[in-house]
Structure formats: C-alpha cells, structure tokens
Structure 1
C-alpha cells in the first residue's frame, strides 16, 4: 500500500502589530525650558542696565531662541515619533516575512501531499499497474473520498492573531501587511477539492452537457482506480440515447456483479431506474449509481452511507449536494482517456471478492490441514478431480483432468489470462488440490515455470 503522511493541522500564532509611538512629555519640556532661560537672560540684562539693552541687535537673539523653541515644541516630538515608528515597522515587517516563509513552506508541503493523494485524472491510467491500485480499503482515511477539481481548501497551517487584537487601531502599514498575510495563507488556492461520497447520498453535477459528462468520467475513473470491486460497485441508469456515451464502463471491474458471471465475465450493472440499480448491486459494497438522461427519482437515501447517486445536469432538489462547473475548476476526462484507464484496470481482478478464510479447506472437506492425508484415495470418479471454487449458485466448481472416456475433461488444458488476472493462483490451487486428494504412490507432479519460478515458490512436488 502506498503510505502518505498528511502535514499536521496547526494554528500558527502571529503577534499583533506594534502600537503607533506617541511624543513623550520629556521631549516637550526641552523647548519650554529654552524659552524660560531666554526670558531670564533678557530680564537680567534690563535689570543691570547693560548697554546691550539699547542695542536693537540684542533683541534678535532672544527672538531667534523663541522661534526655535516654538518650532521644536511643534515638530520635535513628531519627528522622534516618526523615527521610532520607522524602527518598529522595520522590525515587525521582518518578523512577518519570517512567519510568511514558514507558512509558505507548510502550504507547499500540503499542496504536494494533496496532489499525491488525489492525482490529476489524466495520470490515473499510469497507476493501474502499481501498488496504488485499489489502495483505499474500507478502513483507509480516504475511502470513498474523491477529487472533484481544483479550488480553495483550508490551509493546514493557519495563521491566527490574538483574540483581543484590534488591527484597525494600529499603524495602517503594518496592519495592512498583517491582513494580507492572514488572507493569503488561510487557504490553499488551486488545490485538489474532494467530496466524501459516504456523506453524499445524492450528488448532482451541473454545467453544460459535455462538461458534466467529462467531469463524471473523471470521478468514476478515480473511484475505480483507488477502490477494489469488493469495496465499491459502479452501476448506471441511462437513457437509450446515452448508452453509447458510457459504453466504456463495461471495462471497469467495479461495473460488474462478482456473484454473477456469464460467458464474458461478471454481469454488467446497467439498469432502467435507480430502484433496480440499488436492488441489483451486491450488498456490502459502497454503491455509486450514475444517472444520465432519465429521472433520478429514488427511494429516500437520507442517512445512507453506502450509496451515492450521481445525477448529470438538471435542477437541484432538496437534500442533494450540487457541484457546479465554474465554482471550481472541474476535473475532466475525454471518452478515450476514460476508456484507456478502464481497459488498464480490466486486466485485474479482486481475488478477495467472495473469499473467506477456510473456503478451500471446506471444499476439500477438512477443517484442519493436518487431516489432509486422510483424504487420500477415494472412488474412481474422484481421481484427478479437484475443487477450484464455487459457482454463482453456491455449488462447488471442480476441475477433472481425467480423459474424456473416463468422464473427465483432460488430460490436457490451457489457462489464459492477462498479467495479474490470477493464473498462478489457479495453478497453485490445482496443484494443492491434487496433493490433498492423492498419495505420492498415486500421483507425481512436475512443476515447471518458465517465468522465473514464482508461480510454484515453496510448493513441494510429490
């Protein structure tokens, strides 16, 4: 299984902007003291009868002192406050830069994680042959959560300010910068937006006809790529004129009933209405029903977590979740791209469907492997005849390799299947069945594997 590590969801505290500096009272006392000293000097000169008191130039000096003091009184405190404001701005903006870098790194890691967990739809066909195929079992954190497009999602590392912060009462430069940081890093833009199908029993895709079809193709291919046929089933309710558009569904393993098999594989799940689609799908799976071109009237699905009906187009109804092209950038796949993905998946079968531990031993007729030697021998009719599994009726399915004249279907046979379809497992089942039913005196097996020997690894011949 492909293991992914989700970045932590944390709140990143951001300090409030510093207050605007105000002129100090000490700074205002200096020009006042200068005025007092100047006045005292003039009074002393006049009191002493100094000749300077009759000199007009003498009055120029105190006048200049008065003007200078008044100027300092009016502007000196402001300049000092401006200098302090510039220093505090520089420090706080540098602090915001460091916080922004931390948030940017976290956003990049979250974006990468989201894209890896929910890749673009045009890359799904590449995952069919990897360990990521059907990785989302029922206990997986992302089971039945599928990507619907690109849009805004909440950031994992979210910047927050103290609850008592009053941004409007502080320096407008630093408060505006803080607000831009809060707005810019609270969400991720152009990130995968997902929908939890377990919490969405009714989903409607709205937009033009071609867009919603391409959108639905992307959703279904993503669902089929990451979920096994044993966990998710895909059924279709289609109008006559829409069936050709969805012919590619026949390649999806999820679009078949693993309990019912005909000459070309599992019976396909295409129905005339939603009721029969829900009734005809195997229980125990999450059922997704695609509805195109017909009335989507269905039984009350409120509270259901095992069913999702996806309707294409039309007006929304009460209780439906609606996704609209334009509110987000929808994922789309062309019919050719969807068919390519589906055909890649068609080569694989979920070997866990319908299997429980002990099935094979039950078919052999024992409950303890140690009792197998007691099954050696038997009637002539049971010779070279071994069970392979169960029919859709529940009856055992046997392989009899005796010659046709003795009532068998042998002695020669041919097993054909694509890579990963289960040929090696079938051959191992036949070999073990023969070993369980026949003693070494009755049967010898020669096991030859021209593909590396993995098919019969650890199997001992008699």
Structure 2
C-alpha cells in the first residue's frame, strides 16, 4: 500500500457581512374629531326652515310663495352648499380611499425592494455555508481531495472542528431584520401594511435549503433509526458523514473505526488513512480498523476506552485528547453499551445504526429517525414517534 505525502496549507473562507435592514413602519388610520356639524344636522335645519316658512305663511294668511321666496331660496342654497362641502371639500383627505390605496402600494413596493436586499444576503450566506459543507452527492466534496482545503480543520481551528453536513434544512438569516419602531395601537393599525410587515419579518428571517451540520464531538454520539428495508439509505447517510469527516480532518487528529456485518458496503473505507491501526501491521501495511462486532472492537480498544474519563463537553482551556476516535456501528441489533458506558468517554464519538431503542443514544438530543420517504428527522421523543 503506497503513501503520498501531504502538507497542510492555510486556507481562507468567504465572509458574510452581518448588516441590518430596517422594516418601515406600517400605516396608521387616523380618526380626527369632526370640526363641523355632520350632514344630517344641515338636513334638519332645512326641514325646520321649511316648516317655519309654511307656518308663517299660514298665520299671515298669505296663500302665495311670492313673498317668502326671497327667504326660502337662500336658506336652501346655503344648506346645499354646506352639505356638499362636508361631502367633497371637508373631512380627512389622508383617509380617503384613493390616498389610502396609494399609501398601501408605496409601502408594499418598499417591502419588495427590501426583499431583494434580503435575498441577496441570503444567497451570500447560503454560498458561505456550502463552502464549509459541500454536497457529498454531486462531486463537490470529492473535488477538495488533494487541495489546500483537505484536512483544513483541527482542534485549534475555530468554527468547524468536528462539524459534518447531515442534510439540508432551515437556518436563521445572519442579516438582522429590525422590526418597525412605531407601531400604532391595534384599533388604529392599517390592515394591509401591518399584515405585510408581519409576514415579511416571519418569512424573510430564515434561509431555506442550506446545509445543516452536526458537531460530532459535542455529544457522546448519535443514533440513527430506520426500518430494516431502509438500511441501504441509512448506510448512505453514514458514508456521507464519514467522507466529510475524513476530507476535512486529518488522520493525525481523527481516527476512524467501523463495526459492521456488511463488509462489502464498507470495503472502500480500507483506503482511508484514518482507519489505519497505529500499532499493528500486516503484509499490506497498517491493519484496518474494521470489525465484525462490538466484541472484536473492544478486544482491540478496551484498555484505551476504559482509560478515558467520562465524557465532558470541550471548552476553551480544557485538556483535549491527542486523537479523537469516531466509531461507526452499522450493525442491527448490536449492543454498544460496552463502548458507551453510562456517560460516554472523552475523545470518543459513536455513530450508531443498531435499531436499539434501549441505547444511551436513543434520546431526544441525539436520535434521528428516517421516515418512509427518506427524510432524516430529529426524533424529539423517539419512543413515542417511532
């Protein structure tokens, strides 16, 4: 088995500026106090004037309107002018239908312009995430082998040590959306602009269909559950995790062991330098850390496993293991308790696909469930949902 030397080089990742976008204040419906009598007052005055005129004519014995016409006509004219003034010239011009529709159109147009800025920021964020977590299925990950980005992550690097892409999902937008600062009380809110601002904040605050990573070293391990006929799909997920782990993490930092009863599906892993045994060799070089059951693994690593302290989250300043051991258990019905114990071991992460619902990893924090269409879902309460 030949070896090709590789020297790590410094790499630079694209950045995403964390700008802020301010959502404009929604419209407001004002209700000013009427400054003049309403129309019905003028109608009552006209009616009173007509009745008064008729009474006056009757009392004076005048049977003709010739004498009273000079009185009634100005009254009627003034009343009509005032009523038309209330209807056409008076009132709040801002609350008229045409003006209010124009305000709504202007506000929604401003939201459309902001939406373009948000989408531009979301595309930049999605590109930055895809840079760190390329697609393992379309060849993007394979193009990094042998480049400066191979084995770029180490325990001293910031941000992505131990991170591998699990799938795609939703993440929060880095660009801050500042909500309106002046929101009218409920009774004075203009419905169209208020609903538009609310929907904008709800829908544009996340980025869809971006890679979603998990941190392999943040917990003692992860469990994956599926129906027996879905084993091939689950093996594909585990292979993708292993490939990303080995592309971005060097064999001097991460060691890989595989426990499986389906050796043909994992035969390719023998070419990974991460699966080489540091102590034992055969005619081809270092022996491969590929085992047929948990007992065979423990025969090789029992002393190392038992010498490690209980698992504790890694923090700045804390002592870190010289080499992290990742164990993939693709063995239905296997019992990983000899490896996991009650609390796990520091420096060991287990990817378990055993279907054992009594495992330490079968909990709401570390269990994933493969549904009937192949989507990998976080099992909030595994025993109730599976």
Q: Residues 118-133 of structure 1 correspond to what in structure 2 (within 5 A)?
A: 118-122=133-137, 123=139, 124-133=141-150
> Which residue of 6, 18, 21 corresponds with 2:15?
6
* Alignment TM-score, normalising by the size of structure 2: 0.70
The answer as to whether partners of 2:169 and 2:209 remain within 8 angstroms in 1 is yes
- Residues 119-160 of structure 1 show CA distances to partners (whole Å, capped at 9, x for unaligned) of 000322221121111111222221110100111111111424
Return the offset for 1:189.
Answer: 0.7
1:82 has 2:97 as partner: yes
In structure 2, the partner of 1:250 is 270
Distance 1:262 1:83 in 2: 87
In structure 2, the partner of 1:109 is 124
The answer as to whether partners of 1:13 and 1:159 remain within 8 angstroms in 2 is yes
Structure showing greater relative contact order (alpha-carbon pairs closer than 8 Å, 6 or more residues apart)? 2
1:96 has 2:105 as partner: no
Distance 1:179 1:325 in 2: 34
- Residues 143-180 of structure 1 show CA distances to partners (whole Å, capped at 9, x for unaligned) of 11010011111111142425885785522211221122
The answer as to whether partners of 2:46 and 2:75 remain within 8 angstroms in 1 is no
Cα pair distance change 1:183/1:284, threshold 3 Å: same
In structure 2, the partner of 1:217 is 239
In structure 1, the partner of 2:253 is 231
- Residues 363-398 of structure 1 show CA distances to partners (whole Å, capped at 9, x for unaligned) of xxxxxxxxxxxxxxxxxxxxxxxxxxxxxxxxxxxx
Return the offset for 1:237.
Answer: 1.8
Cα pair distance change 1:201/1:166, threshold 3 Å: farther
Distance 1:305 1:65 in 2: 91
The answer as to whether partners of 2:42 and 2:79 remain within 8 angstroms in 1 is no
Task: Count residues with an aligned counterpart.
Answer: 326
- Residues 282-311 of structure 1 show CA distances to partners (whole Å, capped at 9, x for unaligned) of 962121100111222233374756221001
Return the offset for 1:14.
Answer: 2.4
Distance 2:22 2:298 in 1: 52
Cα pair distance change 1:168/1:285, threshold 3 Å: farther
In structure 2, the partner of 1:364 is none
Distance 2:224 2:110 in 1: 45
Return the offset for 1:64.
Answer: 7.2
- Residues 330-373 of structure 1 show CA distances to partners (whole Å, capped at 9, x for unaligned) of 6xxxxxxxxxxxxxxxxxxxxxxxxxxxxxxxxxxxxxxxxxxx
- Which consecutive residues of structure 2, in runs of 5 or more, have no partner in the other structure? 1-9, 306-320, 377-386
Q: Give the aligned CA root-mean-square deviation in angstroms.
A: 4.1
In structure 1, the partner of 2:152 is 135
3-state SS of paired residue (1:51):
coil
The answer as to whether partners of 1:202 and 1:310 remain within 8 angstroms in 2 is yes
The answer as to whether partners of 1:11 and 1:159 remain within 8 angstroms in 2 is yes
Distance 1:103 1:15 in 2: 14
Find the structure with the greater CA-based Rg: 1
3-state SS of paired residue (2:362):
coil
In structure 2, the partner of 1:200 is 219
The answer as to whether partners of 1:17 and 1:167 remain within 8 angstroms in 2 is no
Q: Residues 379-390 of structure 1 correspond to what in structure 2 (within 5 A)?
A: none
Distance 1:131 1:164 in 2: 51
- Which consecutive residues of structure 1, in runs of 5 or more, have no partner in the other structure? 331-462
Distance 2:335 2:223 in 1: 12
3-state SS of paired residue (1:126):
helix
Return the offset for 1:256.
Answer: 1.1
In structure 1, the partner of 2:369 is 324
In structure 2, the partner of 1:154 is 172
Q: Residues 255-274 of structure 1 correspond to what in structure 2 (within 5 A)?
A: 255-271=275-291, 272-273=293-294
* Alignment TM-score, normalising by the size of structure 1: 0.60
3-state SS of paired residue (1:121):
coil
Distance 1:97 1:145 in 2: 36
